[in-house]
Amino acid sequence: MPKPAEILGMNETELVGRAKSGCPEALTELVRKYHRGLRAFLVRRVGNLSVADDLAQDVFLAALNQIATIENGLCFRAWLFRVARNKAIDYLRRASRETSSEADIESLLAEESAARTRQQNSLQDEVVISALRECISKLDSESRALIDAIYFQRIQATEIAAASNRNSGAIRMSLLRIRKALGTCIRRRLGAEFEL
């Protein structure tokens, strides 16, 4: 989607001003500017990309509806992430109210995740993503190949199991271990007290 020439080079305040006056390109540019950070923020809190994307769209929708009410001089980014934080907490609260027996564990997790979200800082999400990239590159070749196949090539665990002559449980277990190793690696880079 090419950017109109007038949008190029505008800073956040100017973009917000244009978006307030109903310029769709300005709003698009604001979405373009912040969608990566916002999705990273949400996916870290809810642990699921499709849910995070839905919430991100809700956040941008809220921005569209309320942009006229944003006071001049208010940091749009901070406002956007505050809305995102509230959306995430609302979602996690809703999830924690589920009543089926299996979801009871989910409700515990959602409650804990909501508690974390209240304390976490939105500015660190991109740092975490960047640390994750570095940590992936530090994995051994077998683990990297597995991550590539599962996440980047979207191959099912059963297919990978068949190709590598292992059972799918072993593949899933390997994935769990890899995620744990990545978590350890990220903490090592960002500080032991860092909460993912």
Q: What part of residues 105-144 is at the interface with another protein (CB under 8 A)? A: 105, 108-109, 112-113, 115-116, 118-119, 121, 123-124, 127-129, 131-133, 135-136, 138-143
Residue nearer to another protein on the CB measure, 49 or 90:
49
Q: Is there binding between residue 53 and another protein (CB under 8 A)?
A: yes
CA distance 122 to 93: 19
Q: What is the enclosing helix (H) or strand (E) of 176?
A: helix 168-190
Q: Is there binding between residue 155 and another protein (CB under 8 A)?
A: yes
8 A C-beta contact, residue 26 and residue 15: yes
CA distance 45 to 57: 16
Q: Is there binding between residue 20 and another protein (CB under 8 A)?
A: no
Q: Is there binding between residue 17 and another protein (CB under 8 A)?
A: no
Q: Is there binding between residue 192 and another protein (CB under 8 A)?
A: yes
Q: Is there binding between residue 80 and another protein (CB under 8 A)?
A: no
Nearest to 189 by CA among 151, 141, 137, 149: 137
CA distance 194 to 192: 5
Q: Is there binding between residue 193 and another protein (CB under 8 A)?
A: yes
